[in-house]
Structure 1
Amino acid sequence: MRSWGSDSEEEDRSPLLTEQHVSRGSVQNYPPAKVPVCCSARYNLAVLALLGFFMVYALRVNLSVALVDMINSTSHEQENRSANVCPDHSTRPIVLQNSTGKKYDWNADTQGWILGSFFYGYIITQIPGGYIAGKVGGKLLLGFGVLGTAVFTLLTPLAADLGAGYLIAVRALEGLGEGVTFPAMHAMWSSWAPPLERSRLLSLSYAGAQLGTVVSLPLSGLICFYLDWVYVFYIFGSLGVFWFILWHLLVSDNPETHRTISETEREYILSSLKNELSKGKDVPVCAMLKSLPLWAIVVAHFSYNWTFYTLLTLLPTYMKEILRFNAQENGFLSALPYFGCWLCMVTTGHIADFMRERLNFSTVAVRKIFNSLGMIGPAAFLLAAGYTGCNYTLAVVFLTLSTSLGGLSIAGYNINHLDIAPSFAGLLLGITNSFATIPGMVGPVIAKSLTHDNTVEQWQLVFYIAAAINLFGALFFAAFASGTVQDWAVRTNKAQGSLNKH
């Protein structure tokens, strides 16, 4: 097992923010360390990326809420009364149901296919998206991925009218569009994020995903109630198109092509990344397959997403069937854990970079510390939530803490792609996210099969499985993760250098 700080300091902290740095025996001059953050191009990119991933998740989860209002409940009176282990709350507000929208007679199996179809499209474009982004840049790929998802979201009411099959196809196409977004963003950050600012820049941009979940879950419910479920898709789809226009006008693939970046910031970013990026065309497939640090990211990403997707899909069900919260309470309480996760992600990036820059922690130590906290902590609180019985407050607190602490892993496995292979960061995220999409397809299915009767004991088993997978992922990452650029990630530069000599 590697020690948590085993990477050499020279490799680990190349290129820093100092004015002078010794690398491989040569002295290189760097721009001044004080490069403004406010109004800088790299932080503007992070904010626009945050809004982009806000849209990505808002467009992804809005159907989960709208579908409840789309179903003709009078034809499906199949409430499972065996779940009534806990009593109803003493004060439950009376809510008049808005029934002006169109209703469809889709059974539970059909609804399951509709909700799951997104991931079948999503998994297909992960690796191609990462590869293409590494070759041509991530700006247009990410932009058109969100735009395509937004357009198909606008077409969702029409597809629903045509039939469940059309709706399933539209959702799968939405998944195809969103599948390129994370790999494309990682590819862009490989050209934009100075090493000692990676944690805060990436955590800020990807925190938009959690924020999108927090806002879209309750907001979609309010839209369904006060307007009509079709406006859920029209409003979020229109916002996605508007974001694409901003993205296209204000963002560039790299600092060299940005129109308004200051010369100081441009030189600062390019100098800090000078020794990390290779321009080789070949992908070292065999070396990647043998790379334990890469497999450490794969296992951690898979494990984290198992818990994340299980709760994202089934937390509203648990809130309703076990904890007996009504629809109004359910929407708010289901979003609460993701608000905590968003806060955790935003603050974690700053703390991680502070530990590296000011406290001289090695990259690998920071990654392992935050990944362990972000996976073992959620596992512990998830187990605890299964033993709260009918203590509603304690159950909500534990579930919120479980999901919130997961945000710490943003400074763990999530950023680690850029540490070990910045030139292939988009492709690597496509690979790991392909594995990590599998839990979204099979995790909720397994959980549903284990909770037919919706008893507390059955849900405890679901939490056991998720916690065990999380724990395994944390231990595997702690054992094999690295914080330095791998030899196979710079191999092409060395090969080209030898050819140039001859």
Structure 2
Amino acid sequence: MEKVEEQQTNQKRFTFADKTRFIVLIIGLCCICCTNANYNAINFSVICMQDVISEQSVVNQTHWLENTADVSFIFSAGAAGAIIGLFPSVPLTTKFGVRNVLSFYGLLTAVSTLLIPLAVSIGYYPVIIIRMFQGFGASILFSAIGSISEGWSPIAEISTYVAFLSAGFQISSIILMPVSGVLCESQLGWRYIFYLFGGISVIAHIIFFTFFRDSATVHRNVSGKELRKISTGRLPTAGRQTVPYLDICKDKVVLSIWAAAIGGNMSFMALITYGPTYLNKVLGLDARETGFLNAIPYMLATAVKFVAGPLSDHMTFIPETWRMIFFAALSQLGLAIGFFVMALTNSKLIAQIAYTAAIVLAGINIVGVVKCAQMVARQHVHFVMAVISLSAWGAIFLLPIIIGFVCPNHTASEWAVFYTAVGIWVIIMNVPFPFFATMDAAEYTKPEWEQKKNTVAPEQRI
């Protein structure tokens, strides 16, 4: 009788053949792609702004687009905005929910992207301001992966979910670079890079806001069958809950996750940001070779993520905790070995292989460390992911200082020292994770935890 009633109810609404969670996955992936492309669009477009230099040039004065320090500060302004944006993101998500906050942050980056051409036409400081707003909105990207997965992914599919969502970072780069190159050389010009990606991003986030709900339990297109699949193995939660910041920060599992993330993010940012510089200046690859080499790892990393996520979910003959440890170890050891090889080799071919393998393997950490964060922190994963995001944006800030100190002349010996140190850093920071990794939800995620915290022992009552 109950099944008949459920079938009749489902007939009155469209349930996407019990696959609504995959529609949410696709929409979320599109939003992550758009926001990341918006944030990185200026990195490519600055080389196309010769018309601005001609229009705004002043005799005996260097235009800001021709000043390396000024352009670098524009890049840094985005990271500054992202760090600022991270701090209110957790309390805002707790109060207003994932749907409202992700939509607001995404639309802020989209509108800022549309305003970049106007800001460039006005001058340097408006670009800095708009760039900070752009970074503010992009700050929530890592948290988006955790939050969307928490509300929509069945436990048995969580590796697939987080791997596919995180692939948005690679996919956006694969799309952004060639499209930007075509627009730069076309009659439309560099401004349409921002108009195109900003406009698509506005549409994507409006669709996200319209269709997405914080939890599958309140979505009208989720059938009873799909809801049971999503809910299986999950702890019941009582709506939005206050984040237990102190308890999370004292959790040894979370601390090991953060340590691994800090080690991985610092090294990964060093690789993708300064890897091409090393290949070009130390190994002597020309610009075309370096540019092509820089595109290959993103394509391979995307393909590997699409394989690694489902593979992790289907390797049921291995305990889930061991799966997480395996993928984390494979990822971070591969990253460290890549640094060691680049530090020691003078061969272009070996350096290319090490560089590509390190970036590709680093991407699978999403089904290792990040999956562990998802399983342990559950409904509070947005806070854990916000700290991971902070480590990534912090790395962007610190790396130019470190590189300027360790590799001022870009010699092979200087880079060998830097890459060796980074490889050791990755290993040290990842040592605790295998000892603390678990699939078990932390006590502070359970419904009875708040009640226990608030219960006063009888002997303490007056």
TM-score of the superposed pair, with normalisation by structure 2 = 0.86
1:282-329 Cα offsets, whole Å, 9 max, x none, are: 432332222111111111111111122223322343343334444444
Query: Which residue matches 2:207?
Result: 246
Gaps of 5+ in 1: 1-35, 76-102
- Structure having the higher helix fraction is 2
Query: Which residue matches 2:354?
Result: 398
Q: 1:277 to 1:199 in 2, by over 3 A?
A: farther
From 168, 177, 191, the counterpart of 2:137: 177
Q: 1:132 to 1:43 in 2, by over 3 A?
A: same
- For the residues of structure 1 that align with 2:353 and 2:33, how far apart are their CA atoms? 25
The Cα of 1:199 is off from its aligned counterpart by 0.5
1:441 aligns with 2:397: yes
Preserved CA contact (<8 Å) 1:142 1:185: no
1:204 aligns with 2:183: no
1:231-270 Cα offsets, whole Å, 9 max, x none, are: 2222211221121232233322211222222221023223
**One-letter amino acid of the structure 1 residue matched with residue 445 of structure 2:** A
Query: Which residue matches 1:471?
Result: 427
Query: Which residue matches 1:82?
Result: none
1:379 aligns with 2:336: yes
From 236, 239, 257, the counterpart of 2:197: 236
Query: Which residue matches 1:66?
Result: 45
- For the residues of structure 1 that align with 2:413 and 2:107, how far apart are their CA atoms? 43
1:138 aligns with 2:98: yes
Preserved CA contact (<8 Å) 1:159 1:166: yes
- For the residues of structure 2 that align with 1:334 and 1:384, how far apart are their CA atoms? 17
- For the residues of structure 2 that align with 1:71 and 1:277, how far apart are their CA atoms? 55
Query: Which residue matches 2:22?
Result: 43
Preserved CA contact (<8 Å) 2:112 2:134: yes
**One-letter amino acid of the structure 2 residue matched with residue 258 of structure 1:** H
Preserved CA contact (<8 Å) 1:202 1:415: yes
Query: Which residue matches 1:125?
Result: 85
Preserved CA contact (<8 Å) 2:94 2:241: no
Preserved CA contact (<8 Å) 1:383 1:463: yes
- For the residues of structure 1 that align with 2:284 and 2:304, how far apart are their CA atoms? 28
From 313, 321, 332, the counterpart of 1:353: 313
Q: 1:369 to 1:52 in 2, by over 3 A?
A: same
- For the residues of structure 2 that align with 1:413 and 1:176, how far apart are their CA atoms? 25
Ranges of 4+ aligned residues in structure 1 off by more than 6 Å: 36-39, 71-75, 496-499
Query: Which residue matches 2:324?
Result: 367
Q: 1:278 to 1:144 in 2, by over 3 A?
A: same
Q: 1:115 to 1:440 in 2, by over 3 A?
A: same
Q: What is the DSSP-based 3-state SS (H/G/I as helix, E as strand, rest coil) of the residue aligned with 1:462?
A: helix
Query: Which residue matches 2:218?
Result: 257
Which structure's relative contact order is higher, taking Cα pairs within 8 Å and 6+ residues apart? Answer: 1
- For the residues of structure 1 that align with 2:374 and 2:23, how far apart are their CA atoms? 20
The Cα of 1:137 is off from its aligned counterpart by 2.3
1:147 aligns with 2:104: no
The Cα of 1:410 is off from its aligned counterpart by 0.7
The Cα of 1:452 is off from its aligned counterpart by 2.5
Preserved CA contact (<8 Å) 1:134 1:426: no
- For the residues of structure 1 that align with 2:416 and 2:448, how far apart are their CA atoms? 50
From 256, 274, 278, the counterpart of 1:314: 274
1:422 aligns with 2:378: yes
1:297 aligns with 2:257: yes
**One-letter amino acid of the structure 2 residue matched with residue 483 of structure 1:** M
- For the residues of structure 1 that align with 2:214 and 2:224, how far apart are their CA atoms? 16
- For the residues of structure 2 that align with 1:165 and 1:259, how far apart are their CA atoms? 46
TM-score of the superposed pair, with normalisation by structure 1 = 0.79
Preserved CA contact (<8 Å) 1:302 1:437: no
Preserved CA contact (<8 Å) 1:333 1:396: yes
- For the residues of structure 1 that align with 2:52 and 2:209, how far apart are their CA atoms? 43
Moved more, 52-61 or 484-493: 484-493
Residue correspondence of structure 1 range 89-108 to structure 2 within 5 A:
104-108=64-68
1:392-450 Cα offsets, whole Å, 9 max, x none, are: 33322211101000112011111222211212111221123223321121123312443
- For the residues of structure 2 that align with 1:262 and 1:448, how far apart are their CA atoms? 56
Query: Which residue matches 1:480?
Result: 436
Cα RMSD for the two superposed structures: 2.8
Preserved CA contact (<8 Å) 1:138 1:185: no
Gaps of 5+ in 2: 1-14, 55-62
Q: Percent identity?
A: 23
Q: 1:157 to 1:498 in 2, by over 3 A?
A: closer
**One-letter amino acid of the structure 2 residue matched with residue 292 of structure 1:** K
